[in-house]
Structure 1
Amino acid sequence: MGRRSGFEGFLRATVRAAAASERERQRDIRSRATQARQIERHQRMAMAQLNREDRAMQKEAKAQYLADRTGETDDMNAELQDRMQELQSILAHTLSTDDRIDFDTLRPSTKFERFETPPALAPSQAPRAPSVPPPLASWRKLIPGAATRHQATLAQLAREHEAEVFRFNKAEQAKLDQLKPLRAAYDERKQRFEAEVKDRNEEIDGLQSAYRDKTPEAVVAYNEMVLARSEYPTEGFPQKFRVAYNPESSELVVEYEQPEVSVVPQDVEYRYVKSRDSMESKARKATEIKQVYQDILVSITLRTLHELFEADQANAIAMATFNGLVDTTDPANGQAIRVPVISVRTSKLEFLSLRLEKVDKVACLRSLGAQVSSRPDELQAVKPIVEFDMVDKRFIDQGDALSGLESRPNLLEMTPSAFEVLVANLFGKMGLETKLTRSSKDGGVDAVAYDIRPVLGGKVVIQAKRYRDTVGVSAVRDLYGTMLNEGANKGILVCTSGYGPDAYNFSKDKPIELIDGGGLLYLLREHAGVAARIAS
């Protein structure tokens, strides 16, 4: 009975132990499963956090990208506005500037550098005298040999100092020997510099004196400097020009290369399209491009005339002519062409009375009798009022030498009757019915012509002056009187020289056209195919 009870106790204990072990195993399984779930949950949480952070970063990056593209668009529009402001301020820019040239500012202002001794060759401090032992005391003199030793010490110190001074002087002399060629080279450079400064100042003095005396070469040089100093936008503005001066009529003629139509921005604004992630532009209308381009051309014209007249310290210019040309390529054949798109001639007195800050630019030029192309963007040409090559004597001489003088008739060498026939034929080629009347005493010719066009036509009185000198206002008055006597609608005065300011002022408000030598050569070439010349 006791054995049975012990067996049952053992069995129960074994069962309990097994149960406990099983429970422990199950707890361990559950614990590991819980840990696995926790790890998995933590991993999901971490991944979710990473995804949230990544999305946030992507969102931030996208926002930054959009901000960058928007900023880029704003910058491009700001640059476009700045460019348009530059183009629209061409005339206004010069109105606040004094265009006169101070000749003293042309003089060299740089000072020649001082001579600098190399540190290694700089003078050294001379050796100091040695410290001399004090005299022997009275009691020391009683010591045998003390005085002799004292004197020997003094002599030794003196010899050592003398040797040191010798070495010092030798070293200093060596420095001076090395310094001497350096100084000589410096003096030579300085002399050359001072000679160049002197020459430059003499050139400036000569230019200033010649300019004050209104010497043609000096007047041209001075006005070339005026135009060269004018500040324009750098992109698209060639700023190439030629200047000529006629001292007889005090007329300055400028041939100025104008910018091409491409100088006008083709876009009016930029915008960023988010949905397509692209930068798009809004094209400027063709009519606006034409308007802006024409405004640029007339602004350059008025600005140039303003600069020349304002800078005229010597009062050398009574009248100025501006021919604006576009130097470009003909799109039809690819050949280089020079197209005159604007031409104006005005007196200094009349021009300086204008208030340029208030005028309508195109209307202002037309009131001055300017020829302004209505379609400069399409290279529509105008007739130059004055041919530059007629005024620039240097260019004419060069052209004559190259082309052969004998092949080009000189109008001043023609007989009065031949010149009479030439003028009559010319206006006949231009569509007028011309009838010669009588020769004048000065060798010119009077003719009556008829413009047979309806409405615009009528009787025209033509008078020619084969002059070497400037034609004065009296000839224009005579022509006007002839017009009134003949009942003519228009009068034309042709000369082989030029006209004074009074002549232009008198004819300004009258139906009179003045054709100078340059205009005559142009008309002969264009309408009669005659390559003539005018040479004294």
Structure 2
Amino acid sequence: MASRYLYTSEVYHKGLNKYKVVKGETKKIAEQKANAQMAQWEEQWKRKLEVDRKRNERENYARSIEESTEEANKLTLEAEEVQNSLDTILIDNLNPRALDYDSLKDHRVFDQTLPVKPKREEISTRPSREDSKYNQKLSFLQRFSKKQVENQKTESDSQFEKDYKLWEEEEKKKDLKYDQKLADYEIAYNEWYKQKETFYAEQKANNDRIDQLKKDFELGDVSAIENYFEHSIEDIKLPFDFILEVELEYQIETKILIVDILLPTVDDLPRLKKITFVKNRNEFKESFLSDSALNAKYDSVLYQIVLVCFNSIFGSDKYGRVESVVINGKVSTIDKATGNHIEPYILSINVKKEDFKTLNLSSIDPKAWFRNAKGIAAAKLSLVTPVPPVIVLNKEDRRFIESYGVIGNIDDSMNLATMDWQDFENLIREVFEWEFSTNGGEVKITRASRDKGVDAIAFDPDPIKGGKIVIQAKRYTNVVGVSAVRDLYGTIMNEGANKGILVSTSNYGNDAYEFAKEKPITLMNGSNLLYLLEKHGHKARIDIKEAKKQLYAK
């Protein structure tokens, strides 16, 4: 806008210069001619600006179309790559690796910044009576005046005392300031040290569990073997947003591994095929696979996943633990006829290692192989047609044992701290069974394991706060330390549980409560246990001193 005003001002003065007053004309006429010329030039300038504006708009529009077209081509290329990756799931997973237990360990270094110890401010120069400031020389005549000499000495002494007192006060302030900084530092350092100790303690507990898991696997422990192959399957990477979830059962006598695997539904697959830019509507248009093409792609993906699972299990079995694998594939979906959630098995197959090793996976047709291997599945997997599994996974935890009732023998004369440990565990089961039974929950006792890691497992069906809950019962007479809470946390992680509850007849130390803070752990002491019993109509007591006397008497 400013350039236009400069321009019109310039042409106006040019007009005035061009149309000078000539003979027979007045100055007013000359100015009118100049103004008319200026208006004409201004109109020409406006037309020029409009032409430039439209040209810029055309150039910007053309550039926008070009950029949008390029973006559409880029997105199409990405969509094609995704679709192509669905066809190469098997090829991309031909080289399974044995589980590297060390990779499961936590190798991090505690990286919280160490608090810096403060330094005291330097001590300023202490005033000295010998300083020249307090010993100014008198003139020759003043030195003969005793009064002047005494006055000077008095003034110097007074000034020195003031300066010295001021110096002392400043140094005391520095000391107080330093003491406060030092106290703050000690608090910060203790907190830092505590966090460091907790970090490495948790890290060690985690890494020790992994070492034990590796040792158990090498010794042929069933749970460790199941854990090993569970990792090998869950480590399979798919080219779309879906994580394989599995449940396994290893039959050590027959060396059969039964795998229940949750497979993707057809809706989990990416359907985008192409993106084009429509110029006349100035918008992007997405094109998708047809239903028939998507269903065919879905069949291919699932059969490839099954082959990859077999390859991962047999390929990582360096100890020869498995001779045959059964894979039961199911999906989590909605029954359109009822609107209810269902998880039907849609495929099932049993393959021996010796037969699988003869396959050339780089050239195989997964669907043709599945049919030839006598796998069970509907003609179209996308129809979600239920099929019976070849071998049904035993959902019962083999650690679970029969429980028995204890609560009927409990009254206020009973000291829970002196109960038989098995009776105490069954009592805890009954207490929590009452708590969870209101919403259909279930509590089961486990047989004594090598690490005594699990005493009971609760299954809470609540979709929000429920899930698998590990319960440990400690009939202790001493304060429960942090090690027991660490063990519980490790068990929660190892079991894949949502929460852990530690119940003791005794109390917990501060370190135990501190460790449990912000973790899915509930610590229940003797008072909490008595409250639960009373809540459900039963009374008992806990007398730690009495229990200790009985213990020492033995």
Structure 1 residue aligned with 2:226: 220
Aligned equivalent of 1:63: 62
Q: Aligned partners of 1:265, 1:352: CA distance in 2, in Å?
A: 32
Q: Does 1:298 align with 2:303?
A: yes
TM-score by length of 1: 0.55
Q: Is 2:205 the partner of 1:206?
A: no
2:360 corresponding residue in structure 1: 355
Residue number in structure 2 paired with 1:261: 266
Structure 2 counterparts to residues 110-509 of structure 1, below 5 A: 110-112=108-110, 116=114, 118-120=116-118, 191-235=197-241, 237-388=242-393, 391-394=394-397
AA aligned opposite 1:212? E
Q: Paired residue for 2:106?
A: 108
Which secondary structure does the structure 1 equivalent of 2:247 belong to?
strand
Counterpart code for 2:206: R
Query: How do 1:519-534 and structure 2 match up within 5 A?
Result: none
Matched letter for residue 24 of structure 2:
E
**What residue in structure 2 maps to residue 436 of structure 1?**
none
The alpha-carbon distance between structure 1 residues 24 and 306, as it changes in their structure 2 partners (threshold 3 A), is: same
Q: 1:360 & 1:74 partners in 2: Cα distance?
A: 32
Give the C-alpha shift of residue 52 in structure 1.
Answer: 0.7
Q: Is 1:227–1:307's contact at 8 Å kept on the other side of the alignment?
A: yes
Q: Which sits farther off after the overlay, 57-66 or 274-283? A: 274-283
Distance 1:39 1:181, change over 3 A: closer
1:67 partner letter? E
- 2:52 is the counterpart of 1:53: yes
Check conservation: 1:77, 1:269, Cα contact below 8 A.
yes
- Shift of the 110–33 alpha-carbon distance from structure 1 to 2, 3 Å rule, reads closer
Give the whole-Å Cα distance in 2 for the aligned partners of 1:25 and 1:181: 98
Whether the 8 Å contact between 2:266 and 2:382 is mirrored in structure 1 is yes
SS at match of 1:255: strand
Q: Which runs of 5+ in 1 are unaligned?
A: 1-20, 128-162, 404-536
* Paired residue secondary structure (2:98): coil
Classify 1:173/1:103 alpha carbon distance in 2 versus 1 (closer, same or farther; 3 Å).
same
Q: Is the 8 A contact 1:242 1:255 kept in 2?
A: yes
Give the distance between the partners of 1:369 and 1:385, measured in 2 at CA.
10
Amino acid at match of 1:292: K
Instruction: State the 1:219 CA deviation.
Output: 0.9
C-alpha spacing 1:41/1:252, structure 2 compared with 1 (3 Å) = same
Q: Where does the alignment leave 5 or more consecutive residues of structure 2 unmatched?
A: 1-20, 125-167, 404-432, 441-554
- In structure 1, the residue matched to 2:3 is none
How many correspondences in the alignment? Answer: 347
CA pair 182-324 structure 1, distance change in 2 beyond 3 A: same
- Contact 1:214-1:314 within 8 A present in 2 as well: no
Tell which structure's C-alpha radius of gyration is larger: 1
SS in 2 for 1:316: coil
Contact map agreement 2:114 2:192 (CA 8 A) in 1: no
Match of 2:97 in 1: 99
Which residue is equivalent to 1:44?
43
Going from structure 1 to structure 2, the CA distance change for 1:255 and 1:61 (only over 3 Å counts) comes to same
1:303 CA drift (Å)? 1.0
User: Equivalents in 2 of 1:196, 1:255: separation in Å?
Assistant: 32
Q: CA separation of 1:55/1:115 partners in 2, compared to 1, >3 Å: closer, same or farther?
A: closer
Deviation by residue 1:439-465 (Cα, 9 ceiling, x = unmatched): xxxxxxxxxxxxxxxxxxxxxxxxxxx
Alignment-derived partner of residue 81 in structure 1: 80
1:321 is aligned with what amino acid?
V
Asked if the contact 2:234/2:243 (under 8 Å) is kept, the reply is no
> What is the one-letter code of the residue matched to 1:107?
K
Shift of 1:22: 11
Contact 2:217 2:224 (8 Å CA) reproduced: yes
CA distance in 2, matches of 1:23, 1:63: 58
- Which secondary structure state, in structure 2, belongs to the residue aligned with residue 24 of structure 1? coil
- What secondary structure, in the 3-state scheme, does the structure 2 residue paired with 1:332 have? coil
* Alignment CA distance shift 1:108-1:272 (3 Å): closer
Is the CA contact 1:339–1:379 (under 8 Å) kept in the aligned structure 2? yes
In the aligned structure 1, how far is the partner of 2:113 from the partner of 2:22? 106
Matched to 1:91, the amino acid is L
State the shift of 1:89 in Å: 2.8
RMSD across aligned C-alpha pairs, in angstroms?
Answer: 4.4
Q: Percent identity?
A: 20
- Would the aligned equivalents of 1:341 and 1:373 in 2 still touch at CA under 8 Å? yes
Checking the alignment, whether the CA contact within 8 Å between 1:211 and 1:314 is kept in structure 2 is no
Instruction: Give secondary structure in 2 for the equivalent of 1:77.
Output: helix
TM-score, normalised on structure 2? Answer: 0.53
